[in-house]
Structure 1
Amino acid sequence: MTDALPHATPGSPRLLLGIDTGGTYTDAVVYDEDARVVVAKAKAPTTHHDLSIGIAGAIDGAVHAAGVDPARIELVSLSTTLATNALVEGSGRPVAAVIIGFDDEVIERGGLRDALAGDPAILLTGGHDPHGSERAPLDLDRLRTEVAAVADRVDGFAVMAQFSVRNPAHERAAAAVIREVTGATVTASHVLSEQLNGPRRAVTAILNARLVPIVDRLVATTERTLVDQGVHAPVMVVRGDGSLVSAAFVRERPIETILSGPAASLVGAAHLTGLDDAIISDIGGTTTDIAVLRTGMPLVSTLGATVGGHRTMVAAVAMHTHGLGGDSQVHHDDRAVGAVLTLGPRRVIPVAQLAVTHGAVVRAAMDRQLVADRPDDLDGVFVVLLDAVRAAQVVDADERSAIGAVTTGPAPADGAVAPAATVMTSAARRRAVERLVRRGVLQLAAFTPTD
């Protein structure tokens, strides 16, 4: 979908390209900075299995509609809701937390248990006092043993040591050992924030570690796609407070991109409307975001953004984010008395969209469900294989069994899609599917407001 807008001046010397990758659509605009007008815009579905398809479609559509040479673009600005969506939906990558100098009670404070969501936590002696002096030696031998034991279950590590903002030596030493043993990415809490409050700093580090693979993939795909499209301009990324930072920065600190998309929407709304004071509601496929413009600038929460129920130490636009969008899953609670429907927070593929590419599977399953004796909570739900490469690397027996049920579904010619009722046949299989969805290996399709 493309539009060349009126009053465009494609001959102006300074052209910028804006890209926003959301949970449902990827948008691109060509902007004439001298004339301060949008020259052209385009929209393409976000293709989660291969982000380059949606990004390339949006870029190509916008540049073609603008009628400009891609080489003339001087700067690319990227915003995204992928990080926000992952936290709202609880679909970030699995990580292990290495917590140094705290006792078991720390896990119960500051939302740390919720942030861990069942992922492993390794508690070690060590840490420093408020003056930066070592309280106890760091047990590196035990760290090596415990890290090796969980390495095949996680995609990254978060390290938090007591008073690391006063002395980060133990966090740095632990991070070095983890990289040596596993080769995995490591987030150290002192890098993300200099504020006190160990549990909240730990939560921020865990969430950052969850987002590293997601945002790194987005940035790498965007940079590669831009080159393929003939755009050789530097890429900057919109941070959660509306400012721009380098792509290299957000690859290490993806937590800074939470609320990036909504922050960009606020700036855009101010520009397009000319209003200095307004309440802005941004309704997307995954979330609804509400924020305030005051004197032409978005209000920023310096105390830390809260997303998906997690309070972070990241400065971002003061925004209320709800897991409610066009692609939020509609649930039917068959255990409740009467018809009880709930909406969200998980984003799924709309059944209507799935039917376009896998019509035979969808129709056959729903025809059977319509004549069944009683409804089931998996009616109208389908499981889609999202990442075949990572699926082939799965070692857990229940997870492999679930993947096998998808890839050998009732209509193999239609691709790797199967009714959830044939995949999630036991409690163990349901848990396996949930884990695989969270890791981005599988995706669910179900009824949504879009349908």
Structure 2
Amino acid sequence: MADHLLLGIDTGGTYTDAVLFSETTGVVAKAKALTTRHDLAVGISGAVEAVLKEARVPVTAISLVSLSTTLATNALVEGQGGRAGLVMIGFAPDDLKRDGLAEALGSDPVIFLPGGHNVHGNENPLDMTALDAALPELSATVSSFAVAGYFAVRNPAHELRVRDRIREISKLPVTCSHELSSKLGGPRRALTTLLNARLVSMIDRLIGACERYLEQRGIHVPMMVVRGDGALISAAEARLRPIETILSGPAASLVGARHLTGRDDAVVSDIGGTTTDVAVLDQGRPRLDADGAVVGGYRTMVEAVAMRTYGLGGDSEVRINDRGLAARLDLGPRRFLPLSLAAAVHGEVMHAALERQLRSQHVARNEGRFAVRTGVPEHLASGLQPQEQALYERIGAVPVALDTLLTNTLQKATLDRLVGRGLVHLCAITPSDAMHVLGRQNQWDREAARLGLELAARAKDGSGRPIAGSATELAGMIVDRLTRQSADVIMAACLAEDGAGAIDPAESLPVDRALQRMRGIVQFRVHLDRPLIGLGASAPVYYPAIAAMLGAESIIPTDADVANAIGAVVGQVRESITVFVTSPEEGLFIVGGAGESVRLVDEEAAFSLARERAISAALHAARLSGADEPAVTLTEAIDAPEVEGRRKLVEARFTATASGRPRIALEL
């Protein structure tokens, strides 16, 4: 029988990667295509068609497709996502002040309903009057809903009733908090649910685009998606719980790095267009963040690898602070469309605008910057304010220069809101453009990059001198800044792993002296105790200098550019379910989690039911997520102290974990 080929696809902010992988021989073929946000299927088909052509194999050789993505991570880092309505059951308005929920909610609508449950799953009466009154209007201004009920992890009945009512009236996607986490902490669970709701349409479009392409090509095989903890879930489950795909790309890269290098102990840093992701491998395993992944400044309840994500990449915004005697450069956290990339598609328009601006003797604030629609479906632009709608209508599929688009300073804030909604890209100089000017990258339009950097170099610092003498000099300054900021974030991640997170490498004078190798009577030195594995398409041009600055061995594997796609196909399905037993009064035991609450009068019977329910639910979840023959393990934590000489059960937790390789299509 022919070897099974697994197709790994990674959709990043800039590139979509595809890999054909054999479990016996490794990488058979790999390819890249630009990610096309207006229609993700275009980028996916471009990468997959290229990899099939290189491998010279028929589509019938493929037995599994697995997808990893940084789209959800990037959206949260950049503050993007659809407009979501939040329904809080049994909570008070003051609860919004906890765990960053109010900040995350922003201007999105929230409805408070009486109801919810107590710690033992007993209900307070649910009143949906406010929901019924608001739904007709809300349904036209949001793209999805998030529902969070008080103690819903102990009894989800009210969340389910509210979900059914919203679906019946609005026909929009609804996320319930109990579906995402079994942990207590209502406001943070509500935050996680809100972020999930914002991501639903984005991940749904990605998976739908992939499924449509596979269907058209006759590739009828199981499709998996990488979760943030590196495990795989079925595409159907990922659609329901897209929040679990935050850190999907980084987790896949970590799995891929371990597979490609065989190194058990390493610092892994993956640079993409939008973010740099840093994690530490210890004894061949990444540590999971028990407190929940932090992305975009928000701590979620999503279990994921202890990966630190920073808004720093090849397409990061170059911010020039020209107020001091010497100009200072800073990169990120926003992603801009590189001038060289935009001009690769719209060269004539871009060159004409940049050349016009260079001819002007006056240095304008918005020169070298453009706006262009991202091309997302029109319904995602619902709920725009009149001034937002008016500006949006003046921006099209062809980049328009900001010096002609913006007629007053207030419009800049309006434009930023459109960018935040994921409707518009800003286009300007980036490190990728600097690399084109220096001749270290050559895939896009070098002339547009040169013109953009020449414009930026004209800016005057506080002493009245241009910040750089030429485009080439400025390009060198930008790349040097990326090297230093990368070293800072990698060291920050490692210090946090060492329990020394209070040291900020970007602010520490000793660290600054050490990284700059400054001479003095007292000399500081830093080095990592393990190699630095650099991943990403641009890893070879950035990481040797970064590793040298950190005093570390630099390892850039042969397939570093597609490590995410490789990690997507070598992982396992893994699902964990926790069932609780509490005792509100002597002789009464309540089993909660993985279904409706059950009241029993015998402790051992309650424990036995909890074990059975956890194991059954974990196996069911693993099979639902695509596992072929899952194996299950059970852990128990029983909190039952002696109180006045008598044993008192506070809480017992039974956690079952089922794992296995994904099902594959066997017909070759």
- TM-score, length basis structure 2: 0.62
- Partner of residue 28 from structure 1, selected from 3, 9, 18: 18
CA distance in 2, matches of 1:378, 1:302: 44
After TM superposition, give the deviation of residue 46 of structure 1 in Å: 0.8
Cα deviations by residue, 1:300-359 (Å, 9 ceiling, x for unpaired):
113211111110111111111101000111123577786343321111210111122223
Cα deviations by residue, 1:212-268 (Å, 9 ceiling, x for unpaired):
111111111111112223322211111111111100000000011111111111111
CA distance in 1, matches of 2:215, 2:24: 25
Moved more, 57-66 or 228-237: 228-237
CA distance in 2, matches of 1:334, 1:184: 47
- Partner of residue 91 from structure 2, selected from 73, 85, 102: 102
- Partner of residue 233 from structure 1, selected from 215, 221, 224: 221
- Find out whether 1:306 has 2:298 as its counterpart: no
- Helix, strand or coil for the counterpart of 2:332? strand
**Which residue pairs with 2:264 in the alignment?**
276
- Partner of residue 246 from structure 1, selected from 210, 229, 234: 234
Gaps of 5+ in 2: 434-668
Query: For residue 441 of structure 1, what is the amino acid of its counterpart?
Result: L
- Partner of residue 286 from structure 1, selected from 270, 274, 285: 274
**Which residue pairs with 1:437 in the alignment?**
419
CA distance in 2, matches of 1:392, 1:122: 22
Kindly indicate whether the alpha-carbon contact (under 8 Å) linking 1:25 and 1:46 is maintained by their aligned counterparts in 2: yes
Moved more, 93-102 or 387-396: 387-396
Q: Please say which structure displays the higher CA radius of gyration.
A: 2
- Helix, strand or coil for the counterpart of 2:301? coil
- Find out whether 1:123 has 2:105 as its counterpart: no
CA distance in 2, matches of 1:391, 1:315: 32
Query: For residue 13 of structure 1, what is the amino acid of its counterpart?
Result: D
- Find out whether 1:255 has 2:243 as its counterpart: yes
1:46-57 matches, within 5 Å, as 46-57=35-46
Identity over aligned pairs, percent: 52
CA distance in 2, matches of 1:308, 1:388: 22
- Find out whether 1:332 has 2:320 as its counterpart: yes
**Which residue pairs with 2:168 in the alignment?**
180
After TM superposition, give the deviation of residue 380 of structure 1 in Å: 1.7
Distance of aligned partners of 1:375 and 1:190 in 2 relative to their CA distance in 1, 3 Å threshold: farther
Kindly indicate whether the alpha-carbon contact (under 8 Å) linking 2:314 and 2:431 is maintained by their aligned counterparts in 1: yes
After TM superposition, give the deviation of residue 428 of structure 1 in Å: 5.2
- Helix, strand or coil for the counterpart of 2:395? helix
CA distance in 1, matches of 2:365, 2:243: 34
CA distance in 2, matches of 1:341, 1:447: 12
Kindly indicate whether the alpha-carbon contact (under 8 Å) linking 2:264 and 2:284 is maintained by their aligned counterparts in 1: yes
CA distance in 1, matches of 2:318, 2:267: 28
CA distance in 2, matches of 1:219, 1:197: 31
Kindly indicate whether the alpha-carbon contact (under 8 Å) linking 2:39 and 2:376 is maintained by their aligned counterparts in 1: no
Kindly indicate whether the alpha-carbon contact (under 8 Å) linking 1:423 and 1:429 is maintained by their aligned counterparts in 2: no
- Helix, strand or coil for the counterpart of 1:133? coil
1:33-72 matches, within 5 Å, as 33-35=23-25, 37-72=26-61
- Helix, strand or coil for the counterpart of 2:274? coil
- Helix, strand or coil for the counterpart of 1:92? coil
After TM superposition, give the deviation of residue 439 of structure 1 in Å: 3.0
Kindly indicate whether the alpha-carbon contact (under 8 Å) linking 1:46 and 1:54 is maintained by their aligned counterparts in 2: yes
Kindly indicate whether the alpha-carbon contact (under 8 Å) linking 1:56 and 1:229 is maintained by their aligned counterparts in 2: no
Kindly indicate whether the alpha-carbon contact (under 8 Å) linking 2:37 and 2:375 is maintained by their aligned counterparts in 1: no
CA distance in 2, matches of 1:20, 1:117: 31
Kindly indicate whether the alpha-carbon contact (under 8 Å) linking 1:100 and 1:127 is maintained by their aligned counterparts in 2: yes
Kindly indicate whether the alpha-carbon contact (under 8 Å) linking 1:12 and 1:34 is maintained by their aligned counterparts in 2: no
After TM superposition, give the deviation of residue 119 of structure 1 in Å: 1.5
Distance of aligned partners of 1:116 and 1:425 in 2 relative to their CA distance in 1, 3 Å threshold: farther
1:253-402 matches, within 5 Å, as 253-333=241-321, 339-372=327-360, 375-387=363-375, 389-390=377-378, 394=382, 396-402=385-391
After TM superposition, give the deviation of residue 202 of structure 1 in Å: 0.7
**Which residue pairs with 2:405 in the alignment?**
423
CA distance in 1, matches of 2:410, 2:159: 36
**Which residue pairs with 2:554 in the alignment?**
none
- TM-score, length basis structure 1: 0.90
Query: For residue 276 of structure 1, what is the amino acid of its counterpart?
Result: D
Distance of aligned partners of 1:235 and 1:330 in 2 relative to their CA distance in 1, 3 Å threshold: same
After TM superposition, give the deviation of residue 283 of structure 1 in Å: 0.7
After TM superposition, give the deviation of residue 64 of structure 1 in Å: 1.2
- Find out whether 1:449 has 2:431 as its counterpart: yes
CA distance in 1, matches of 2:290, 2:208: 30
CA distance in 1, matches of 2:373, 2:3: 45
CA distance in 2, matches of 1:148, 1:336: 54
Kindly indicate whether the alpha-carbon contact (under 8 Å) linking 2:34 and 2:43 is maintained by their aligned counterparts in 1: yes
Query: For residue 131 of structure 1, what is the amino acid of its counterpart?
Result: H
After TM superposition, give the deviation of residue 139 of structure 1 in Å: 2.6
The number of aligned residues is: 432
**Which residue pairs with 2:147 in the alignment?**
159
Distance of aligned partners of 1:334 and 1:105 in 2 relative to their CA distance in 1, 3 Å threshold: farther
After TM superposition, give the deviation of residue 371 of structure 1 in Å: 5.0
Query: For residue 140 of structure 2, what is the amino acid of its counterpart?
Result: D
Cα deviations by residue, 1:53-105 (Å, 9 ceiling, x for unpaired):
11111111111111111111101111111111111111111112111222221
Question: What CA RMSD, in Å, does the superposition of the two structures yield over aligned residues?
Answer: 2.1
Kindly indicate whether the alpha-carbon contact (under 8 Å) linking 1:383 and 1:443 is maintained by their aligned counterparts in 2: yes
Gaps of 5+ in 1: 1-10, 408-414
CA distance in 2, matches of 1:46, 1:389: 16
**Which residue pairs with 2:594 in the alignment?**
none
Kindly indicate whether the alpha-carbon contact (under 8 Å) linking 1:239 and 1:260 is maintained by their aligned counterparts in 2: yes
**Which residue pairs with 1:7 in the alignment?**
none
Kindly indicate whether the alpha-carbon contact (under 8 Å) linking 1:327 and 1:449 is maintained by their aligned counterparts in 2: yes
CA distance in 2, matches of 1:148, 1:168: 25
Distance of aligned partners of 1:336 and 1:144 in 2 relative to their CA distance in 1, 3 Å threshold: farther
Query: For residue 363 of structure 1, what is the amino acid of its counterpart?
Result: H
